[in-house]
């Protein structure tokens, strides 16, 4: 059984795309071979990649497909043969099946007698199948961004294709894609080996051939080589280690075919720049690894991963070049830092007047004023809950929070917005609480990132975001469809995440009220913002916390009462309640009640559709059947307890209480006919059911949880 | 973006060009105080349409040709996809890193002026100051030797520009006047494009359709002739190239306003869209003017 080796040579593939494309190529190739019945059950697959190639190697490929005997059924016998003579229908079927008419047989099935033919399908050679199908397979590899390169735009790929290698055993498979015909040649390292092809005489020599051409196609081997080389180079600095950074190791693994590592240094004077700045420059801008001492303090060194191997003279040149670039970058940063210190943050508050936040909404200065009002009100709202907020620090932090937008360092390193403000606040003696709050105001960076550690930072982040959301909604710039140019959805998730993780006793309703403040037309505005936040809460519960969609829908569809007291108003309540609902789904009684609620909902809807006008409340004295009297009695009995359980956030107990209604509900449906011919009886029963449904739907729409 | 690039990448004709050009980015000005950052830097720009299959190899050989021994350096092609939203142009490609220094922007243009390109172009943009500083091993761009004997440095030639334009761009440019200029150039460009469309768009004007025909007189006698020859001559002499100049002026004014901090995040989107409209209009007009089979081609 031969092996199949396929390699696509490409101009440098973006590092971030390689791993997924390698997996995609492998899976698709295996699927193709399986689909074509061309692979043994004990096949093995290996795959490779470098920036300039994707390759897959499958062992246990069959030379050709097995022949197939296929039974085809045609028209009914009566139509195909009249008086034992074949009709036109028989001739047509025989032609379609590729057999002579006299080879047609009678097939008897349960439905009657039909014409049948046994068709012999000879298997195709694997080479033919692969040559025919690999081009389309290559073309369907998924790339986040691809391109055309040939005139007439016949195909797209991530970058222009350079060569193809396709071997089945010792033979070339003539795959053709992108104007290139596959051969048995690959290419080595562009500089170290030069621009001449490398013959792969047989598949087993592929790795060795590439290695002798200075290419390590095994990703894991390259990763290990890089890690070892990082370790080895770092040993030149006594007591130092390189700062672990898996994603950077990944990136440089996919940026190199033949990696080596060089240690470089920078002047220790740059260490007076904050570590955040130094690491951002090294990691994000230069893809260098930082070096630290055993206590984790940065050392004046860096490690760069080369895609080449050089002698010591070359190493000196490359080190010198990289050090020069890094020095220039650090110089920029220091220049900005020093320039920025000439105007302290307090002196920049006024400058915010000329930094436009949004044309209709004014400057960041105006936004800061509003942020102040909101942050103070939020802090006041917390006094009862016993959270201690350093109000003076909060006020200073909010006042200075946006001033780093005027700083040169932030203009240069926009990803350090907030962080730079925090660092400047610390350097300018504003104290730790202020510095921390400013530093962490944009946290969490994502739905699973960490939130600010201090209450001041949390409140600053909430105030800033809710202010933006309300302001944008007020001028009609809310997100629509896939468009969310001001990232309001992310801002809302930020608020929800901070509330969830901090447990701050603030309701969504309350936050929106505070942010709207003295604005006009606040009833519709409030409704729109609250419903937006609730929709985001549903997203958070589903996508971030992993609750079942039906749980989230049930919870979010609760029928209000006072919105400020509803469960979905407090993020922590909403999470706790979703957990309780999830747990209750294990209770048969509870599920039965949910099903009953769904039934009630349908009955009421049908009745309303028929124009049945039933009152909101039932008349207890007018109930007649024992089961309905019992149900009404039980409802009466539970009401007070249920109300206090909800008020005291004892949701699990409240749900258990609801589940305990099952015997009465079951009995009611077993023995009572709701749609009684007597109108008064019928309407009273509908009112009873409606009352039952409305009462408990205050906390969730339980009908959503009924099994379907 | 130079018309030599923006316009020449449009259309089906093979075309290759290389030229040096200044690139002005007002926001990058540093008053001549930053050794690595300039308001105006020089690029050597290469357009290869369509790109040859060995374009990367040719590029690497160009580095060897200016004295870089690739065996003694570390060179990487790292993903960097170029995009110019004001011109509705984008491509995919790399930044070429030489010992950690970005020396070249390498782009396969896919779209320009909103037009899907076929064939596409390969664009190679060499950053001349960086390469010169690298070759001369100086830490500051201002220390680059511009010429020898007598020694003239980059500082001698360019420092005053950097200082004075930084002052103007950041401090003294009159924002209101910049907006006025912007609107004037925009209106002028738009008027040209409207005239072009009215006269040469491949559709009859609707009854009663009327535009401000500010530039109608440009067409002179030819605009009234009804034989195709005079229409084609009128089309050839129509100032599409100046329309692109006007569009570029808008683009530069936008950058100036941006450097002055006069454009908010939200306004940005709208202003960019206005310039993009002009760029798209110019690209369409240019293609219509160049349309194959027209006398412009036959007569040359």
The DSSP call for residue B89 is: E
Check pLDDT > 90 for residue A612: no
**Residues of chain A neighbouring B26 (CB-CB closer than 8 A):** none
Tell me which DSSP letter residue A55 carries: E
Name the residue of chain B whose CA is nearest to A281's CA: B100
Mean pLDDT over A397-422 rounds to 93
CB A102 within 8 A of CB A96: no
Q: Is A334 on the interface with B (CB under 8 A)?
A: no
Helix (H) or strand (E) holding B268: helix B265-290
In this predicted model, what pLDDT tens digit does every residue of A499-537 receive, in sequence order? Answer: 999 999 999 999 999 999 887 666 789 999 999 999 999
* Interface with A, mutate which of B26, B49, B61, B76 (most A CBs under 10 A): B76
Q: What is the pLDDT of residues B201-237, one digit of tens each?
A: 655 445 444 444 445 555 554 445 456 677 778 888 9
Cα distance between residue B79 and residue B95, in whole Å: 6
From the list B34, B50, B99, which residue is nearest A151 (CB)? B50
The whole-number pLDDT of residue A512 equals 94
| A287 in Cβ contact with A299 (< 8 Å) | no
Mean pLDDT of the A408-426 span: 92
User: pLDDT value at position B99?
Assistant: 97
In this complex, is the C-beta atom of B171 within 8 Å of any C-beta atom belonging to chain A? no
- Residues in a beta bridge with B123: B47, B107
Q: Does B65 touch chain A (CB under 8 A)?
A: no
CA A113 vs CA A72, A84, A117, A368: distances in Å: 13, 14, 13, 86
Mean pLDDT on A676-694: 90
Q: What percent of chain A has pLDDT over 70?
A: 99
The Cα B102–Cα A69 span in angstroms is 63
Residue A562 has pLDDT above 90, yes or no: no
Low-confidence ranges of chain B (pLDDT < 70): 201-228, 265-266, 292-300
Place of tokens 């080996």: A193
CB distance from B149 to chain A under 8 Å?
no
Helix (H, G, I), strand (E, B) or coil at B107: strand
What is the three-class DSSP state of B17? strand
Give the tens place of pLDDT for each residue, A173-199: 999 999 999 999 999 999 999 989 999
pLDDT tens for each residue of A374-393 = 999 999 988 878 888 999 99
A483 touching B (Cβ < 8 Å): no
Contact A152 B118 (CB under 8 A): yes
Subunit contact B79:A192, Cβ cutoff 8 A: no
3-state secondary structure at position A175: coil
ipTM of the complex: 0.89
Minimal CA separation from B216 to chain A, in Å: 37
Q: In Å, how far is A305's CA from the nearest CA of chain B?
A: 9
Q: Do B72 and A310 touch (CB under 8 A)?
A: yes
> What pLDDT shows up at residue B209?
46
Q: Residue A414 pLDDT more than 50?
A: yes
Which of B60, B73, B94 faces A318 most closely, judged by CB atoms? B73
Kindly determine whether residue A356 and residue B33, on different chains, have CB atoms separated by under 8 Å: no
What are the tens digits of pLDDT across the range A330-341? 988 888 898 899
pTM above 0.90, yes or no: no
To the nearest whole angstrom, how far is the Cα of B202 from the nearest Cα of chain A?
Answer: 24
Tokens coding B137 = 């091993």
pLDDT tens-digit map of A75-131:
999 888 998 889 999 999 999 888 888 888 888 888 888 999 988 889 999 999 999
Please write down the long-range contacts of A540-544, taking CB distance under 8 Å and 24 or more positions apart: A540/A447, A540/A493, A540/A496, A540/A497, A540/A500, A540/A571, A541/A574, A541/A575, A541/A578, A543/A447, A544/A447, A544/A448, A544/A493, A544/A497
Is there a contact between A307 and B108 if contact means CB atoms under 8 Å apart?
no
Does A331 sit within 8 Å of B35, measured CB to CB?
yes
Q: How confident is the prediction for chain A on average, in pLDDT?
A: 92
Other beta carbons within 10 angstroms of residue A603's beta carbon come to 18
- Which residue pairs, CB below 8 angstroms and at least 24 apart, start in B113-116? B113/B6, B113/B10, B113/B87, B113/B88, B113/B89, B113/B279, B113/B280, B113/B282, B113/B283, B113/B284, B113/B286, B114/B88, B114/B276, B114/B279, B114/B280, B114/B283, B114/B284, B115/B10, B115/B280, B115/B283, B115/B284, B115/B287
Q: From residue A52, give the alpha-carbon distance in Å to each of A149, A158, A223, A303, B274.
A: 17, 11, 16, 24, 40
Q: Which residue has the tokens 């957990």?
A: A579
Whether the CB of A11 is below 8 Å from some CB of chain B: the reply is yes
Measure the CA–CA gap between B238 and B196, rounded to whole angstroms: 7
Q: Which residue of B has its CA nearest to A282?
A: B100
- Residue A338 CB neighbour total at 10 angstroms: 12
Q: Looking at residue A232, what is its pLDDT?
A: 97
B 192-221 near A (Cβ less than 8 A): none
| Omega cis (within 30) before A444 | yes
Mean pLDDT over A149-169 rounds to: 96
Is the CB of B75 less than 8 angstroms away from the CB of A191?
A: yes
Q: Say which of A147, A151, A317 has its CB closest to residue B110.
A: A147
CA distance A425 to chain B (A): 24
> Is A51 touching B (CB cutoff 8 A)?
yes
Least-confidence region, from A23-32, A250-259, B131-140: B131-140
For A86-218, where are the alpha helices, taking DSSP H only?
88-97, 126-139, 206-212
A335, A360, A485, best to mutate vs chain B, most B CBs in 10 Å: A335
Contact status of A307 with chain B (Cβ, < 8 Å)? yes
* Residue appearing with tokens 């937008």: A405
Q: How many CB pairs under 8 A join A and B?
A: 126
The whole-number pLDDT of residue A226 equals 98
């Amino acid at each position: 059984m031969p092996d199949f080796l396929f390699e696509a040579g490409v101009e440098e593939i973006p590092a971030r795309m390689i791993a997924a494309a390698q997996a995609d190529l492998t899976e698709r190739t295996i699927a193709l071979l399986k689909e074509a019945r061309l692979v043994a059950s004990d096949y093995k697959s290996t795959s490779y990649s470098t920036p300039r190639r994707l390759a897959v190697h499958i062992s246990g490929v069959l030379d050709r497909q097995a022949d197939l005997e296929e039974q085809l059924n045609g028209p009914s016998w009566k139509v195909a043969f009249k008086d034992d003579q074949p009709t036109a229908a028989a001739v047509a079927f025989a032609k379609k099946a590729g057999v002579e008419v006299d080879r047609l047989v009678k097939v008897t099935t349960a439905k009657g007698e039909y014409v049948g033919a046994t068709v012999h399908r000879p298997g195709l050679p694997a080479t033919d199948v692969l040559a025919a199908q690999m081009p389309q397979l290559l073309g369907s590899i998924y790339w986040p961004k691809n391109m055309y390169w040939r005139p007439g735009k016949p195909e797209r790929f991530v970058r222009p294709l350079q060569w193809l290698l396709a071997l089945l055993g010792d033979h070339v498979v003539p795959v053709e894609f992108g104007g290139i015909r596959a051969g048995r040649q690959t290419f080595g390292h562009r500089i170290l080996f030069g621009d001449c092809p490398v013959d792969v005489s047989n598949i087993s020599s592929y790795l060795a051939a590439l290695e002798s051409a200075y290419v390590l196609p095994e990703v894991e081997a390259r990763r290990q080589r890089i890690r070892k080389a990082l370790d080895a180079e770092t040993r030149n600095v006594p007591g130092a280690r390189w700062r672990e950074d898996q994603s950077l190791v990944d990136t440089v693994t996919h940026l190199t075919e033949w990696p080596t590592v060089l240690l470089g240094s920078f002047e220790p004077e740059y260490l007076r720049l904050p570590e955040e700045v130094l690491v951002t420059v090294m990691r994000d801008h230069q893809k260098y690894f930082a070096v630290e001492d055993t206590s984790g303090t940065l050392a004046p060194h860096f490690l760069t991963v080369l895609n080449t191997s050089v002698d010591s003279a070359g190493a000196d040149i490359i080190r010198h070049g990289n050090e020069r670039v890094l020095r220039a970058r650090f110089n920029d940063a220091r220049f900005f830092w020093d320039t920025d210190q000439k105007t302290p943050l307090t002196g920049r508050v006024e400058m915010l007047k000329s930094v436009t936040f949004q044309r209709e909404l004014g400057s960041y200065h105006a936004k800061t004023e509003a942020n102040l009002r909101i942050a103070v009100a939020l802090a006041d709202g917390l006094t009862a809950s016993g959270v201690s907020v350093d109000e003076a620090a909060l006020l200073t932090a909010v006042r200075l929070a946006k001033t780093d937008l005027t700083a040169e360092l932030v203009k240069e390193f926009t990803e350090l917005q907030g962080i730079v403000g925090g660092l400047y606040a610390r350097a300018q003696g504003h104290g730790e609480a202020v510095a921390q709050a400013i530093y962490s105001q944009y946290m969490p960076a994502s739905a699973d990132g960490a939130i600010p550690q201090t209450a001041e930072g949390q409140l600053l982040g909430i105030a800033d975001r809710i202010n933006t959301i309300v302001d944008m909604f007020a001028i009609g710039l809310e997100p629509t469809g896939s468009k969310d140019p001001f990232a309001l959805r992310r801002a809302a998730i930020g608020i929800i995440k901070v509330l969830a993780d901090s447990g701050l006793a603030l309701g969504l309703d309350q936050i929106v009220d505070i942010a709207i403040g003295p604005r006009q037309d606040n009833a519709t505005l409030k409704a729109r913002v609250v419903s937006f936040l609730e929709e985001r809460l549903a997203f958070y519960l589903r996508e971030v916390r992993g609750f079942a969609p039906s749980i989230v829908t049930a919870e979010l569809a609760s029928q209000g009462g006072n919105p400020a007291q509803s469960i979905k108003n407090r993020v922590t309540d909403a999470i706790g309640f979703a957990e309780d609902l999830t747990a209750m789904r294990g209770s048969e009684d509870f599920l039965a009640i949910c099903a009953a609620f769904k039934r009630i909902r349908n009955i009421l809807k049908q009745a309303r559709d028929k124009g049945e006008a039933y009152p909101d409340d039932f008349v207890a004295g007018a109930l007649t059947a024992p089961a309905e009297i019992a149900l009404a009695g039980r409802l009466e009995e539970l009401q007070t307890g249920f109300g206090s359980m909800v008020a005291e956030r004892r949701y699990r107990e409240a749900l258990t209480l609801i589940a305990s209604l099952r015997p009465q509900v079951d009995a009611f449906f077993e023995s009572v006919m709701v749609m009684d011919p007597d109108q008064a009886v019928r309407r009273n029963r509908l009112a009873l059911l409606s009352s039952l449904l409305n009462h408990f739907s205050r906390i969730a729409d339980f009908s959503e949880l009924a099994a379907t | 973006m130079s018309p030599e690039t923006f316009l020449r990448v449009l259309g089906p004709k093979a075309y290759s060009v290389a030229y040096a050009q200044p690139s002005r980015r007002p926001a990058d000005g540093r008053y001549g105080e930053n050794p690595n950052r300039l308001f105006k830097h020089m690029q050597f720009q290469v357009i290869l349409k369509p790109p040859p299959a060995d374009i990367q190899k040719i590029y690497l050989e160009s580095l060897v040709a200016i004295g870089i021994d690739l065996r003694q350096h570390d060179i990487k092609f790292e993903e960097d996809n170029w995009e110019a939203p004001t011109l509705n142009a984008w491509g995919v490609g790399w930044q070429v890193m030489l010992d950690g220094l970005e020396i070249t922007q390498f782009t396969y243009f896919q779209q320009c002026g909103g037009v899907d390109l076929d064939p596409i172009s390969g664009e190679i943009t060499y950053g001349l100051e960086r390469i010169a500083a690298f070759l001369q091993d100086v830490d500051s761009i201002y220390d680059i030797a511009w010429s020898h004997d007598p020694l003239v440095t980059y500082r001698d030639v360019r420092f005053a520009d950097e200082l004075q334009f930084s002052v103007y761009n950041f401090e003294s440019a009159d924002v209101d006047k910049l907006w006025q200029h912007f609107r004037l150039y925009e209106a002028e460009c738009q008027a040209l494009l409207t005239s072009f469309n009215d006269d040469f768009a491949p559709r009859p004007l609707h009854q009663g359709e009327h535009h401000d025909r500010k530039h109608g007189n440009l067409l002179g006698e030819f605009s009234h002739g009804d034989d195709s020859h005079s229409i084609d001559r009128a089309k050839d002499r129509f100032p599409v190239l100046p329309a692109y100049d006007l569009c570029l002026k808008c683009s530069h004014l936008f950058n100036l306003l941006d450097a002055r901090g006069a454009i908010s995040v939200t306004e940005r989107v709208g202003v960019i869209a206005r310039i993009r409209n002009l760029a798209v209009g110019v690209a369409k007009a240019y293609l219509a003017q160049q349309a194959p089979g027209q006398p412009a081609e036959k007569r040359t």
